[in-house]
Chain A
Amino acid sequence: MLYREAGQFKTSYAADMAIFPIRQDRIALIILLLFAFIGIPLLAHFQLWPLGSDYMLRAILIPFLILALAAIGVNILVGYCGQISLGSGAFMAIGAYSAYKFGTGVHIPLEFIGTEIKIAPLPVLPSILLGGLMSAIVGILFGMPSLRIKGLYLAVATLAAQFFFDWVFLRVKWFTNYAPSGSVNAPELSFFGYLVHSPIERYLLCLIFVTLFALIAKNLVRGNIGRQWMAIRDMDIAAELMGIRPLYAKLSAFAVSSFIVGVAGALWAFVYLGSWEPLAFSIDRSLQLLFMVIIGGLGSILGSFLGAAFILILPILLDQVPHALGVPISVETVSLLVFIVTGALICYLLIVEPHGFARLWSIAKEKLRLWPFPY
């Protein structure tokens, strides 16, 4: 009864084009945002369930937000533009290391022409955004082959990015400021003189980034460029014959996607990890992001959140549920079970519901709208 759109008439195209054209959805979103921005910090502040300790914020909510952001980026490329990517981890790494370099000062000696490039350490916010920008530029470079090659061949090109940058950040000491261990520490998270330190502050910082970028991504995918991406995805030849330039559509998808993934990478390094090694952005990370997108829903911003939540919660569930049932299983078995369940779920969803959890969600809403009538 609560979920009805009867009586809500749209009198302008602007109203019809809104992200949530149905009033109840808008109210639900506002409540969710209020809870995320005010409720959770309050619960955490007063140490109430389920935020009695830092664990929930540190180990679940913060990584969830950052990986959801990265998944949005991957979804733009894979879900909306149909260009497969197995190298998202590399673009997170580019975002992270570029932000690190900008944050600690860039120094490129050019002795052979008797000069040098020197940029003083930048504040954290521009560093993170520049990290995204560098990732976007490299994304465009590695997107170039997509103009000549299609689909699966591109998977190999993105793998090239993955392995090449794994190596670069491991072996080219300049990127790690010649740290002997190869591990680097993030600069202090100071925003306009305010120091972000506690888990609540870190959580809010991530939340702001994710909210803003989710809104931007949603605006892009429902506008002209989003339709071009989807046109390329669904029928690239027809799209080109209709005047959609594959060059612009594909490279813009690579750029926007890599930018968002790069920003997520910088946040992952600066806010979540604090200090990190290249291993943090290996091909496992790329596959994990791809799985989030497939499970959550290809071509859905909401799905990126659902997928990220699922992939993060699955190992915890597989660990806790047998515990609760009195059959504890070893850590190693849990990690293998995660493999099996994730892989099987991917196959199952591809067969049964290729648009993932997001489509299941919208089917449920549709049912609710009509309930108690069958149609």
Chain B
Amino acid sequence: MVVLGQFLEVLIGGLLAGVLYSLVALGFVLIFKASGVFNFAQGAMVLLAGLALVRSLDFMVARGIPTWAAIVLALLFAAVVMAITAALIQKLVLGPLVNQSDLSLFMATIGITFVLEGAGQMIFGSDVYPLSLFPTDAWFILDGLFEGGLLVNKLDVWGGLIAGALVAVLAIFFQRTKTGRALRAVADDHAAAESVGIPITWIWFVVWLVAGLVALTAATVWGTKLGVQFSIVFLALKALPVLIIGGFTSVPGAIVGGLIVGAGEKIAEVYLGQQIGGGIEYWFAYVLALAVLLVRPQGLFGERIIERI
């Protein structure tokens, strides 16, 4: 029973941590689906959104604005920052790069990553800034069944709830709104969408904006967990293996992929890590993704690719 209890605790912790990866991965999927761009900068966007949020929040709280109002205003401020970022990226980089190869676009997003990291830290500062939007203590559940109960972090649960809400909101946006439908049309075929009068640059701006807002959402949870700091960029890179596993074009794939990676690396760390030196969380997700690539290149939920010439 103790063994099972420990396993369940690790599994739950892992699944909920995986939700955090899913949150970042969602941003990738949105941009990849709508514009075919593999956005390396998603992690940097999380950092930027987090910095904008935490710094404006601290600024307002220090000036005596009530916390709840400060939070709302700070969220608004960060959203505006992400909107400006989206507009600049679309206008200055992606617009001129239309019809370039995937590789060029990808490398451009690496360039964007560096600009965002540099500019974000230069404007908002480059220390570790603690953020406490959500409770960080733990529950102990099922203590009737297991001795001492199972430890579940409240923050992780919040992360799960937020991810669920986000997916619901996105689903409504894509299915029910005009912009959302236009976005799906663009994702299917740029040229055809443009020919029926869908303003493609506007749509791409909207996509980057939505991805920016998803990044902001991720930043609220990640920032509470780790503090807003530079290393978020590299943690966010784990969204890449998540996508490989889930499939690049699939929103459910991003969620399931995140859960698999989160649970997989925690379980591997606890049960395998001790034997081979520990710290395997660092690479486990990537090697798992590599294995998936060899077996099923399109991922669990991706569409099979037919090549033409």
Indicate whether A and B are direct neighbours in the complex (CB within 8 Å): yes
Interface residues of A (CB under 8 A from B): 82, 84, 144-145, 148-149, 151-153, 155-157, 159-160, 163-164, 166-167, 170-172, 237-238, 241, 283, 287, 290-291, 294, 332-333, 336-340, 342-347, 350-351, 354
Q: CA A41 – CA B36 in complex, angstroms?
A: 51
Measured between C-beta atoms, what is the minimum distance from A114 to chain B in Å?
23
Q: Is the CB of A151 within 8 A of B103?
A: yes
Q: CA A339 – CA B277 in complex, angstroms?
A: 34
Interface residues of B (CB under 8 A from A): 38, 92-93, 96-97, 100, 102-104, 106-108, 110-119, 121-122, 126, 234, 237, 240-241, 244, 276-280, 282-283, 286-287, 289-290, 293-294, 297, 307, 309
Measured between C-beta atoms, what is the minimum distance from B245 to chain A in Å?
10
> Given contacts A156-B289, A167-B280, are A332 and B126 in contact (CB under 8 A)?
yes
Of B38, B110, B278, B286, the contact of A160 (CB 8 Å cutoff)? B286
Q: Which of A156, A157, A159, A238 gathers the greatest number of chain B CB atoms within 10 Å? A: A156
Chain A residues closer than 8 Å to B112, beta-carbon distance:
343, 347
Chain A residues closer than 8 Å to B93, beta-carbon distance:
347, 351
Q: CA A237 – CA B307 in complex, angstroms?
A: 9
Chain B residues closer than 8 Å to A157, beta-carbon distance:
289-290, 293
Measured between C-beta atoms, what is the minimum distance from A164 to chain B in Å?
4
Of A339, A340, A350, the contact of B97 (CB 8 Å cutoff)? A350
Which label, helix, strand, loop or mixed, suits the secondary structure of the A interface?
helix
Q: Which of B103, B293, B294 gathers the greatest number of chain A CB atoms within 10 Å? A: B103
Of A287, A338, A351, the contact of B118 (CB 8 Å cutoff)? A338
Measured between C-beta atoms, what is the minimum distance from A233 to chain B in Å?
9
Tell me how many residue pairs across A and B have CB atoms closer than 8 Å: 131
Q: CA A283 – CA B286 in complex, angstroms?
A: 14
Q: CA A257 – CA B287 in complex, angstroms?
A: 22
Q: Is the CB of B278 within 8 A of A159?
A: no
Q: Is the CB of A148 within 8 A of B294?
A: yes
Q: Is the CB of B289 within 8 A of A160?
A: yes
> Given contacts A171-B278, A350-B111, are A153 and B103 in contact (CB under 8 A)?
no
Which label, helix, strand, loop or mixed, suits the secondary structure of the B interface?
helix
Q: Is the CB of B118 within 8 A of A159?
A: no
Measured between C-beta atoms, what is the minimum distance from A298 to chain B in Å?
9
Q: Is the CB of B241 within 8 A of A346?
A: no
Q: Is the CB of B110 within 8 A of A153?
A: no
Chain B residues closer than 8 Å to A333, beta-carbon distance:
122
Chain B residues closer than 8 Å to A351, beta-carbon distance:
93, 96-97, 108
Measured between C-beta atoms, what is the minimum distance from A232 to chain B in Å?
13
Of A82, A159, A237, the contact of B286 (CB 8 Å cutoff)? A159
CB-CB nearest in chain B for A82: B103
Show 16 A/B contacts (Cβ-Cβ < 8 Å), sorted by A. A82-B103, A84-B107, A148-B294, A152-B106, A156-B293, A157-B293, A160-B287, A164-B287, A171-B279, A172-B277, A337-B122, A340-B118, A342-B114, A343-B117, A347-B115, A351-B93
Q: Is the CB of B283 within 8 A of A336?
A: no
Q: Which of B102, B108, B280, B297 gathers the greatest number of chain A CB atoms within 10 Å? A: B108
Chain A residues closer than 8 Å to B100, beta-carbon distance:
350, 354
Q: CA A87 – CA B290 in complex, angstroms?
A: 14
Q: Is the CB of A153 within 8 A of B244?
A: yes
Chain A residues closer than 8 Å to B126, beta-carbon distance:
332, 336
Of A155, A167, A290, the contact of B240 (CB 8 Å cutoff)? A155
> Given contacts A156-B240, A159-B286, are A346 and B106 in contact (CB under 8 A)?
no
Measured between C-beta atoms, what is the minimum distance from B65 to chain A in Å?
29
Measured between C-beta atoms, what is the minimum distance from A336 to chain B in Å?
4
Chain B residues closer than 8 Å to A153, beta-carbon distance:
244, 293, 297
Q: CA A237 – CA B92 in complex, angstroms?
A: 33
Q: Is the CB of A340 within 8 A of B293?
A: no
Measured between C-beta atoms, what is the minimum distance from A341 to chain B in Å?
8
Q: A343-B116, A343-B117, A351-B97 are in contact. List 9 more A-B contacts (CB 8 A).
A: A152-B103, A160-B290, A163-B283, A290-B110, A332-B126, A339-B117, A342-B111, A347-B111, A347-B115
